[in-house]
Chains A and B, each alone.
Chain A
Amino acid sequence: MTDASNSQASNGQAPNSDTNLTGARIGVITFPGTLDDVDAARAVRYAGAEAVALWHADDDLQGVDAVVVPGGFSYGDYLRAGAISARTTVMGAVVEAAKGGLPVLGICNGFQVLTESGLLPGALMRNEHLRFICRDQWLRVENNTTVWTTRYEPGAEILVPLKNAEGRYVADASVIDELEAEGRVIFRYVGAEGDHNPNGSLGDIAGISSADGRIVGLMPHPEHAIDALTGPTDDGLGIFLSVIDSLLKV
């Protein structure tokens, strides 16, 4: 595996590369077929933490303070998107650590891995209209009290890329009711009526959290929106800044 921090340093794109301003260490998992680990690690460094590369076969999380499960097509989406990744050695370690309060963020395929591993309820299914969707997407931050969202104003609307074919959030009606009642719908698709929901997700749900707000999963990609040079906005950076804030408070 390529050392992401070295590759970033060599092309000069990440001003904060190799500098850990906060002392926080955030793991970024790579499975076979993961695509967005490099951008996720870059976002971690932009926010001022050290990005620690974790491999699917690792049973040691190297003492990281939080974990990002990034997007891509791990294991080729075989069986179900995220299904095989959820049963890897490293995810066994993540599930154990999450029980002890380790903050975990799942983005896109990473969100699928978190639902398949049982860390978050529900499932992500084929988009209603069967198309792979790639567009910049407005989201409303519905809850800014999770460890991953404190940097946002209540009800803030953010613009980040969305790219998936299996992003339709589904769950039993009782689970949806529970998520809504407990404020665990964290990100919701917003925008022009009729076009705002890209995939048929129930309740326009783009992202949810665990009951304690320490585990968050979302389909859109905040790690691709951390500076205006390479993304539509820098709206996504707040997610990484938020978790670092929470780590520094501990």
Chain B
Amino acid sequence: MARVEVDVVIKTEILDPQGKAILGALGRAGHSGVTEVRQGKHFELVVDDDISDADLEGIAEHFLANPVIETWTVRRVPESGL
């Protein structure tokens, strides 16, 4: 078994109202110095050892993310990271 992490975030050119709301709340809560927040999704997958990078990319592009509005990164987590 291997572990894979996929991060999905809304494209920078598309309005992320949740990120904007968090940014505003941070300021009101006294956390200064933050100039932008974008909210995304983090997936942790446990996969068979023989799953290919192409398969993982396909899972990210065609299911976990919507390429119309989001970008994504796929990362294999080293064994020691389990």
Contacts and interface: CB of A to CB of B under 8 A. Distances in A.
A127 interface: yes
Interface string A161-182: 0000000101110000000000
Interface of A is mostly: loop
Contacts, number: 35
B31 to A, nearest CB: 20
B17 A127 contact: yes
B69 interface: yes
A128 B20 CA distance: 10
Interface in A59-94: 79-80, 83, 87
Interface residues of B, number: 11
Contact of B15 (A79, A128, A172): A128
- The interface size bin for chain A is 20 to 34
Contacts of A130: 17-18, 21
Given A79-B64, A87-B63, A126 B69 contact: no
Contacts of B15: 125, 128, 168, 170, 200
B82 interface: no
B64 A170 contact: no
Interface string A5-44: 0000000000000000000000000000000000000000
A168 B18 CA distance: 13
B74 to A, nearest CB: 16
B17 A123 contact: no
A209 B21 CA distance: 32
Nearest to A80: B66
A83 B66 contact: yes
A172 B69 CA distance: 9
A161 B64 CA distance: 31
B14 interface: yes
Ranked 3 nearest A-B pairs via Cβ: A123-B68, A123-B69, A130-B17
Interface of B: 10, 14-15, 17-18, 21, 63-64, 66, 68-69
27 contacts: A79-B63, A80-B66, A83-B63, A83-B66, A87-B63, A115-B68, A116-B66, A121-B68, A122-B68, A123-B66, A123-B69, A125-B10, A125-B69, A126-B17, A127-B17, A128-B15, A128-B17, A129-B17, A130-B17, A130-B18, A130-B21, A170-B15, A170-B68, A170-B69, A172-B68, A200-B15, A200-B17
